[in-house]
Amino acid sequence: MNNAKLLVQALEQEGVDVIFGYPGGAIMPFYDALVGSRLRHILVRHEQAAVLGADGYARATGRVGVCVATSGPGATNLVTGIANAFLDSVPLVAITGQVASPLMGTDAFQEVDTFGITMPVVKHSFLVKRAAVLPWMVREAFRLARSGRPGPVLIDLPKDVQNAAACGGYEPAPIEQPPAPEPQAVARAAELLRASRRPVVYAGGGIGMGCAVDEFRAFVAATRIPVVSTLKGLGALPGDHELYLGMLGMHGFRAANRAIQECDVLVCVGARFDDRATGKLSEFAPRARVIHMDVDAAEVGKLRRPDVAVVGGLRPALRTLSIPLEIDSWRRTCRAFTAEHAWNYDAPGAGVYAPRFLKRLSEAADGETIITCDVGQHQMWVAQHCRFRRPEHHLSSGGLGTMGYGVPAAIGAQLGRPQARVISVTGDGSIMMNLQELATLVRYDLPIKIVLLDNRALGMVRQWQELFFEHRYSEVDLSDNPDFVRVAEAFGIPAFRLEDRREETQAIERLTRDRGPVLAHVLIDPQANVWPLVPPGHSNEVMMEGAHR
């Protein structure tokens, strides 16, 4: 047995069922070993979709996503997706072919330094120079990808090593639990909570990634502290929960940002004080003492010095901190914020008002529906107006902001959760970044619903040029878009166009009832903006508002 075969068997033993990839010269021994394997290989049409598909699979299932590419351009096409997984802490193993060892360093055909190029965006990487170390490296790759703060791990595998005789067998990596936090730190956090009068929970993606949703909800039920969420934290608490104030930050809701600015204790659970969430950092939660709970010690004090750092697994800490608090008056204040800033969905005109359409779609979808996003205005409207019951129901490229994420992630999510309804909300800019994957969707008969919000522009950039560059529009016009209905149909996907709000009900009916794939091409107002908006460099207290369109 050669190493390529051993690698395939190792993946099988790790419980991998689906891998996403694209073959090529330096990875051919691996593809040869795939023949007859029980691994299901998804042949994408561009390597970026392989890694983003594996990312979507991992986020939707909680398992490690696996992608494969050849050396050179195959590997460089993975880089964006590896960075995407790195910034959003997604467990991923990326396997790349490499030219044969004697050719490495000679500028051989399709040779690049994949190990070096990816180093800043991986949790760790392995270059397999000797056959004997392959089993250990694969085991460590899986262990590292999913342990502690998850992330992507790269295995770069020269062709001659793939062909060499395997040494030894494979033992799957153990599942590790993160260490429990220090009891003294948890006790100090409890003291701070008991003394607080205006606490707020700042809930991040770590809750879902750390499998701590149940403990988090029990913590909120016991303490009854109002909760704001980051983009990745959406769904940690159900979107209709009485204590949920909405997303915070640049496009957060006023109630959420106000509560943060007025709180006396900020309980950061699995979040990282990202600039899009905090606005001007020095003015973020200015009166608050901070409890920072995170599995990653390096996040503590990176941007905001906490008063108490609770480093380690979230689950035991949340269990211990599930204590009743006397904060009735503050809760009433927060409820008043929510009522005062309730969204008005009555936009004038006959066209489709994107926030209302997405809210209606979300309400009509069942509680297990997964929504993936691309990046831009539609992404923020989804975060603001769709309600999620679980974090794994909302797949969005948060840290890297990767346009082109939505459709490949939907493919990964649908393959990982075949029974779930998967909707990909995209824009006319984003969909063109990985349009070729409509062919993958059709090839594997995936019933994904695509909602393409089309404003004939790169909307978010256009909005910033309008507001912060004195209406000087530079390279944002997409009025020459193709006919997206015909494009979808050319791929074999049924499609329809929606322009008139009176047809929304029928469109939503199709998107939530049709068994197969469908693309809804939704024309929206090209001048529509995302509100509210905290201007860059400002405190979250400064929230711009504009007209509903």
Partner 1 sequence: MTFAIQLQLKRAEGALVRVLGLVGRRGYEVIRVEARPSGDERVMDVVMTVQSDRPADVLVRHMAKLFDVVEIQEMREMSK
Q: Which residues bind partner 1 (CB under 8 A)?
A: 115-116, 119-120, 123-127, 129, 140, 144, 296-298, 300-302
Task: Scan for tokens 């409207």, then name that residue.
Answer: 381
Residue 41 CB, nearest distance to partner 1 (Å)?
28
Measured from the CB atom, the residue of 116 and 494 that comes closer to partner 1 is 116
Q: Least CB distance from residue 297 to partner 1, whole Å?
A: 5
Least separation, in Å, of the C-beta of 155 and partner 1? Answer: 12
Answer for the pair 4, 163: CB distance below 8 angstroms, yes or no.
yes
Give the number of other Cβ atoms within 10 Å of residue 474's Cβ.
9
The verdict on whether 219 is a catalytic residue reads no
Which one from 110, 182, 499, 504 is the annotated catalytic residue? 110
When the beta carbons of 147 and 377 are compared against partner 1, the nearer one is 147
159 is catalytic: yes
Residue 122 or 267 having the CB closest to partner 1: 122
Nearer to partner 1, 82 or 409 (CB): 82
Q: What is the widest separation between alpha-carbon atoms in the chain? A: 72
CB 220 within 8 A of CB 201: yes
Q: Which is nearer to partner 1, 127 or 431 (CB)?
A: 127
For the CB of residue 540, give the shortest distance to partner 1 in the complex, in Å. 23
Q: Give me the residues paired with residue 351 across strands.
A: 500
Residue 109 a catalytic site member: yes
Q: Which is nearer to partner 1, 120 or 179 (CB)?
A: 120
Beta carbons of 156 and 28 less than 8 angstroms apart: no
Q: Closer CB to partner 1, residue 12 or residue 140? A: 140
Instruction: Provide the minimum distance between the beta carbon of 149 and partner 1 in the complex, in angstroms, as a whole number.
Output: 8
> Taking the complex as a whole, how short is the minimal distance between the CB of residue 106 and partner 1, in angstroms?
18
Torsion of CA 28, 31, 32, 38, to 10 degrees: 170
Q: Could you tell me which of 255, 258, 232 has the C-alpha nearest to residue 243?
A: 255
Sign of the four-CA dihedral 397, 372, 267, 189: negative
Distance between CA 72 and CA 371 in Å, rounded? Answer: 33
The candidate with the shortest Cα–Cα distance to 527, out of 545, 548, 543, 544, is 548
Give the separation between CA 345 and CA 348, rounded to whole angstroms: 9
User: Which one from 104, 293, 433, 460 is the annotated catalytic residue?
Assistant: 460
Closest CA to 256 of 545, 543, 510, 546: 543
By beta-carbon proximity to partner 1, the closer residue of 126 and 357 is 126
SS3 sequence of 50-72:
HHHHHHHHHHHHCCCEEEEECCC
- Residue 118 DSSP class: H
Catalytic residue among 109, 171, 468, 489: 109
Helix (H/G/I), strand (E/B), else coil: 246: strand
Please work out, in degrees rounded to the nearest 5, the angle formed at the alpha carbon of residue 266 by the alpha carbons of 394 and 239.
30
Count the neighbouring beta carbons within 10 Å of the beta carbon of residue 25. 14
Question: Among 159, 232, 359, 449, which one carries the catalytic annotation?
Answer: 159
**Closer residue to partner 1 (CB): 104 or 354:** 104
Closest separation between CB of residue 417 and partner 1, Å?
A: 31
* Smallest separation (angstroms) from partner 1 to the CB of 28: 24
Q: Rounded CA gap, 381 and 548, in Å?
A: 13
Q: What are phi and psi of 259, to 5 degrees?
A: -60, -40
Of 9, 14, 47, 162, the active-site residue reads 47
Strands of 99-255 (E only): list them: 124-127, 152-158, 199-203, 227-229, 244-247
| Least Å from the CB of residue 302 to partner 1 | 5
Q: Which residues pair with 241 in a beta bridge?
A: none
Nearest to 395 by CA among 377, 381, 380, 410: 410
Other Cβ atoms less than 10 A from the Cβ of 461: the count is 17
The set of catalytic residues is 47, 109-110, 159, 460
